[in-house]
Amino acid sequence: MTRPGAPGSRLVPRTLRARLVAGLLALLVLAFVGVGLATTAALRHFLVDRLDQQLADSGGRYAASLEQGRPRGGADTRAQAPGTFGARLVSGRVTVAGVVDGDADDAGQPNADDTVALTAAEQRTLAGLRVDGTARTVRIAALGEYRLRAVAGRDGDVLVTGLPLRQVHETTERLVSLELTVFAVALVAVGVTGTAWVRWSLRPLGRVATTAEQVSELPLASGAVALSHRVPDDDPRTEVGRVGASLNRMLDHVGAALNSRHEIEERLRAFAADASHELRTPVSAVRGHAELALRHPGPVPEPVHHSLERIDAEARRMGAIVEDLLLLARLDAGRPLADEEVDLTRIALDAAADAHATGPDHRWRLDLPTEPVLARGDADRLRQVVANLLANAGSHTPPGTEVTLRLSADRDLVRLEVADTGPGIPPELLGKVFERFVRGDRARSRSTGSTGLGLAIVRAVVAAHGGGVEVGSGPEGTVFTVRLPQPQREPGRARAARPSGRTG
């Protein structure tokens, strides 16, 4: 079996059109080979039969005329075709052998120039011929292949007569050459016309493939999708028509399912936005009453004071969740963000300083280029992206872990990386870290609460800026990489040096 990519697989046609044409040509080659072999064999058999008939008609006259150089029964060499072979055997031994060479000096009589020297093996072969008139093919070294026929002479001797097979070989070779020429021209003609015919016949299948390719390029993952593409060939009487009709029905089902999904997503987004908006007021009220109670000048029992502090902390946490949900709802709705030039280097410096202040038990490092790294977008949202990535690294890694914030830029892209040397993300969780309300398990324990929305906000904000984010993780650590489009730098812009190294 030929594996894909193996040297032999390059010779195997890949497309259906190429396979059909190759199969047609292969069948024609087999048919031509069969016809060529049959016609060549039939012609050779016919010519050899005619040669055997000529031998039977000639009898042994030429062989008898070779005895002592005098004709017997009035026979001479002029009655024999040039190339006729004759030999006389007595008691199984060849006494004389000759061939008609067609020389003018024969004068109708055999002479010394007509004699043929036979090897011992050839003499034994002649002696072994059946004396019943049956012809046999024998190769004589001095003459070539001959059809020989042995008959009994009148003096108790054996007369052998033969005719050359040279003309038979030449005729069959000319036939083979003619057949090769005709078959080659026929193969070329059939290849060209067959390719055109197969191409025309497979046009409906090509339209099916084109429709499938167009559908595959549609953004089916999210948002409203208009599946207007349909296969024009849906005649149920043809195979391609049945495929087209089935594909059209499948597209109808997929379109209905996508519309239903979009309606559900829109209702969920509207619910999340409305619920988050409605929750902001009561959450703010709870926080306000808790802060007011904590500021009461009179004595407050310790259990009550602790409960008020817990109410204030949970209210703050609930307020953060509400704000995150509102942000995600706005991003899902496609609301535009601010579009301005943002200094990512300054954002990285501030975010690293904040991370060091909130997580002094980690080692925070900065790796920044000497020139400022700029991007286009919303500064507040990009600041939230960097803060969320650093907070994620600090929350899900043990104390003493080294966290590196790295910035780099080339002509087209800005790259921001947050790498840590923690225990890594479990493989079963790695593909879901950017989903909403996904939290790490005990393998990445956290000391503080997490809403499970931080990385979802990172992906949504980066996507709204036309970029992408990905994660790689292993036992040696985890790396989050954000890629953003690089804005065009203005000519003559001043360059400001930025520090590089660790901040804590």
CB 386 within 8 A of CB 417: no
pLDDT of residue 66: 76
Q: Identify whether 229 is part of a domain.
A: yes
Which contacts (CB < 8 Å, 24+ apart) does range 395-401 have? 395/446, 395/447, 395/448, 395/450, 396/422, 396/440, 396/444, 396/445, 396/446, 397/362, 397/421, 397/422, 397/423, 397/444, 398/422, 398/423, 398/445, 399/361, 399/362, 400/361, 400/362, 400/363, 401/362, 401/363
First-residue to last-residue Cα distance in the chain: 61
Distance in angstroms (rounded) separating the CA atoms of residues 434 and 432: 6
CB 364 within 8 A of CB 356: yes
Same-domain check for residues 266 and 323: yes
DSSP 357: H
pLDDT of residue 223: 62
Q: Identify whether 208 is part of a domain.
A: no
| 148-206 confidence digits (pLDDT tens) | 999 988 888 899 999 999 999 999 999 999 999 999 999 999 989 988 888 888 788 77
Q: Identify whether 139 is part of a domain.
A: yes
Q: How many domains does the chain have?
A: 4
Q: Identify whether 5 is part of a domain.
A: no
Sheet containing 85-90: order of strands: 93-99, 85-90, 158-164, 144-152, 135-140
Q: What residues contact residue 58 under an 8 Å CB cut-off, 6+ apart?
A: 80, 84, 161
Amino acid at 73: G
Same-domain check for residues 489 and 439: yes
176: how many CB neighbours lie within 10 A of its CB? 15
Instruction: Among 297, 318, 335, identify where a domain stops.
Output: 335
Q: Identify whether 118 is part of a domain.
A: yes
How far, CA to CA in Å, does 333 sit from each of 55, 223, 255, 262, 462? 103, 9, 21, 12, 15
Considering the chain, what is the average pLDDT of its residues? 81
Which H helix or E strand runs over 367? strand 363-367
Q: What residues contact residue 236 under an 8 Å CB cut-off, 6+ apart?
A: 242, 245
**Range of 326's domain?**
219-335
Identify which of 400, 373, 409, 396 has the alpha carbon closest to the alpha carbon of residue 471. 396
- Residue 299 sits in a domain whose CATH number is 1.10.287
Distance in angstroms (rounded) separating the CA atoms of residues 379 and 465: 11
pLDDT of residue 204: 80
Q: Identify whether 21 is part of a domain.
A: yes
Distance in angstroms (rounded) separating the CA atoms of residues 55 and 162: 7
pLDDT of residue 494: 42
pLDDT of residue 107: 46
Same-domain check for residues 194 and 240: no
Instruction: Among 140, 174, 201, identify where a domain stops.
Output: 201
Same-domain check for residues 355 and 393: yes
Q: Identify whether 146 is part of a domain.
A: yes
Amino acid at 455: L
Same-domain check for residues 194 and 253: no
| 209-260 confidence digits (pLDDT tens) | 788 777 777 777 666 667 777 777 667 777 777 888 888 888 888 878 878 7
- Residue 395 sits in a domain whose CATH number is 3.30.565.10
Same-domain check for residues 159 and 179: no
Same-domain check for residues 358 and 327: no
- Residue 330, classified by CB atoms within 10 Å of its CB into exposed (0-12), middle (13-18) or buried (19+), is middle
Distance in angstroms (rounded) separating the CA atoms of residues 299 and 464: 51
Q: Identify whether 253 is part of a domain.
A: yes
Same-domain check for residues 52 and 63: no
Instruction: Among 285, 307, 335, identify where a domain stops.
Output: 335
pLDDT in tens, the chain (504 residues): 455 555 555 566 677 778 888 888 899 999 999 999 999 999 999 999 999 898 888 877 888 777 655 444 444 555 678 888 989 999 889 888 888 876 644 444 555 457 888 899 989 999 899 988 889 999 998 889 999 999 988 888 899 999 999 999 999 999 999 999 999 999 999 989 988 888 888 788 778 878 877 777 777 766 666 777 777 766 777 777 788 888 888 888 887 887 877 777 677 666 666 666 667 678 778 778 778 777 777 787 888 778 878 888 888 777 777 777 777 777 777 777 888 999 999 999 999 999 999 889 999 999 999 889 998 899 998 999 999 999 999 988 999 999 999 999 888 889 999 999 999 888 888 888 888 777 664 444 444 456 678 898 899 899 988 899 999 998 889 999 999 988 765 544 444 444 444 444
287: how many CB neighbours lie within 10 A of its CB? 18
pLDDT of residue 446: 42
Same-domain check for residues 225 and 323: yes
Same-domain check for residues 403 and 310: no
- Residue 132 sits in a domain whose CATH number is 3.30.450
Chain-centroid distance, C-alpha 260: 35
Same-domain check for residues 188 and 41: yes
- Please state the pTM of the whole predicted model: 0.49
Same-domain check for residues 293 and 380: no
